Amino acid sequence: MHHDEQYIQSIATGLGCYYLLLCAMNWVAALWLWRKGPLTYFRLLGAIPVTNVLVWLLVGMVFFTLAPFTMIGWVPRMPQVVMATVNYFSAPTFLMSGALITLTLLFLFRRIVTQPVVAWSAFNLAVLGMGLSMTNPDFGAIVGKPDNVPIVGLVFLLSFFTWLATYKAVRNDDRIRQGLPPLEKLDDEKVLVWPDLVYTELICMVAITALLLVWGIALQAPLEDPASSVKTPNPSKAPWYFLGLQEMLVYYDPWYAGVVLPSVVLVGLMSIPFLDFNKQGNGYFTIEQRKFSYLTFQVGFLLLWVVLIVLGTFLRGPNWNIFGPFEHWDPHKVLAQNNVDLSQFFWIGFLKSSMPKAPEGSGDLLQFGYILLRESLGIILVLAYFIFLPPAMVFIPFFKRMFVKLGFIRYMVMANLLLLMATLPIKMVLRWTLTLKYIISIPEYFLNF
């Protein structure tokens, strides 16, 4: 408890300035809305107009009130029940499922979510939650680590630009439905590189340089002890942009998680010009005209990449165990998990027999045959997944239309790229629900899947 109070006192001034910044942010938004023209939501007691300007002035006043109390040590904190709930639902099972449900809801209700007032409200709740969470020493140690500070900023930037692109796409879809051209077509006059582009780049360069100078002075460089083969960090993590790959290694062998899946991403991106038969949506934002491409990108990038980076950065602690954001990173935490292979499920669990094993002194060919017998179920399932599932998908009307337009070869390439992408969430679900380690396990030849 004494340590917690010391921590609170150490961050009180900075947290108070943070709330003042949020206050100024909302008051600037109120000023901008006032100059644009206030919008009345309703009238209080039938006479007092409640406008958008008044709402954000009051929100700013809340942050302004929090600031002095925080600076003198009366710091509002995140309720314990909220922290315990967040810790519980931070397990990969809930995190990935929740992210998928969230993406689905955001897509279905995109016209509501992209409303500026809804987005601004969500942003205020997010930054308020960040401020309240910083009063927890464990959360502050993770988020405030110099390595992780820019990643927190990237999460907010990614959220903003995702919202902005979706906002523009929704507006364009509405205009196209009304027979109007997209917004990008209204301002498509030629712009010269000099002075327009170069002048803008110069201003950005000066601004970013100033920001980096302030950043370098205010934040200590994340330098650690000299590298030593006898002392490695726990946990030992890759740079943030590789943490998605490192998280994949939990579910797949290095040859697949580190070579095959990244290669599939590159090959898939290079294949887009040859597989994309939809000529709409070029040069402007849209969702309605390119739903399949939009959903594939959102799931592949946000769910199977960004969420894995966030998971690896903020939730993977010592011994690569999962910790909640408000949980202390205890290096002595031990989780008993008995991961088994599919062949063990089949031979020992289902058939109640021993695993097939070649007799002592057998030749290499006979031993290889016994290995194939042992892993026969997994091999059959994997081959069926990649060989028989693409033709079976044609019975779905959407993929049937795609097959007609793409032809056999291009359709098979596209279908197998989708199936390869789906192997990651499928394997993750199997690990969480059945503690399944490998579908095909051939350690004799370093081949596991």
- Per domain, the residue ranges of the chain are 1-76, 80-187+194-222+285-335, 240-283+337-449
State the pLDDT confidence band at 3, using cuts at 50, 70 and 90: low
**Token pair of 201, please?**
């780049």
**Mean predicted confidence (pLDDT) in 62-66:** 93
CA dihedral 148, 151, 153, 159 (to 10 degrees): -150
- Pairing outcome for strands 441-442 and 447-448: antiparallel
158 vs 117: CA distance, rounded Å = 19
Q: What's the mean per-residue pLDDT of the chain?
A: 88
Q: Decide if pLDDT at 2 tops 70.
A: no
Nearest to 240 by CA among 297, 322, 316: 316
pLDDT at 307: 93
Q: Which of 42-56, 108-122, 141-155, 337-351 has the lowest mean pLDDT?
A: 42-56
113 vs 279: CA distance, rounded Å = 28
Helix (H) or strand (E) holding 50: strand 48-51
**Token pair of 368, please?**
């290889």
pLDDT at 155: 92
**Mean predicted confidence (pLDDT) in 47-57:** 84
pLDDT at 234: 82
State the pLDDT confidence band at 21, using cuts at 50, 70 and 90: very high
40 DSSP β-pair partners? 51
pLDDT at 173: 94
pLDDT at 224: 74
437 vs 311: CA distance, rounded Å = 20
The segment with the largest mean pLDDT, out of 59-68, 273-282, 346-355, is 59-68
Q: Decide if pLDDT at 31 tops 90.
A: yes
324 vs 23: CA distance, rounded Å = 29
Chain centroid to Cα 58, Å, comes to 33
334 vs 322: CA distance, rounded Å = 10
Q: Which of 69-83, 155-169, 375-389 has the lowest mean pLDDT?
A: 69-83
Q: Which of 209-218, 219-228, 324-333, 354-363 has the lowest mean pLDDT?
A: 219-228
* 301 in Cβ contact with 103 (< 8 Å): no
pLDDT at 203: 93
pLDDT at 233: 81
Give Dmax over CA atoms of the chain in angstroms.
Answer: 95
Nearest to 76 by CA among 128, 21, 137: 128
Amino acid type, 281? G
* 398 in Cβ contact with 293 (< 8 Å): no
pLDDT at 190: 75
Nearest to 261 by CA among 247, 277, 280: 247
The segment with the largest mean pLDDT, out of 83-97, 190-204, 261-275, is 83-97
Q: Decide if pLDDT at 193 tops 90.
A: no
CB atoms within 10 A of CB 440: 18
pLDDT at 268: 86
231 DSSP β-pair partners? 228
Better-scored residue on pLDDT, 336 or 12: 12
* 319 in Cβ contact with 250 (< 8 Å): no
- Read off the pLDDT of residues 417-442 as tens digits, 9 standing for 90 and up: 999 999 999 999 898 888 889 999 98
172 vs 180: CA distance, rounded Å = 9
Residues with Cβ < 8 Å from 430, sequence gap 6 or more?
A: 436, 439
pLDDT at 119: 94
Q: What percent of the chain has pLDDT over 70?
A: 99
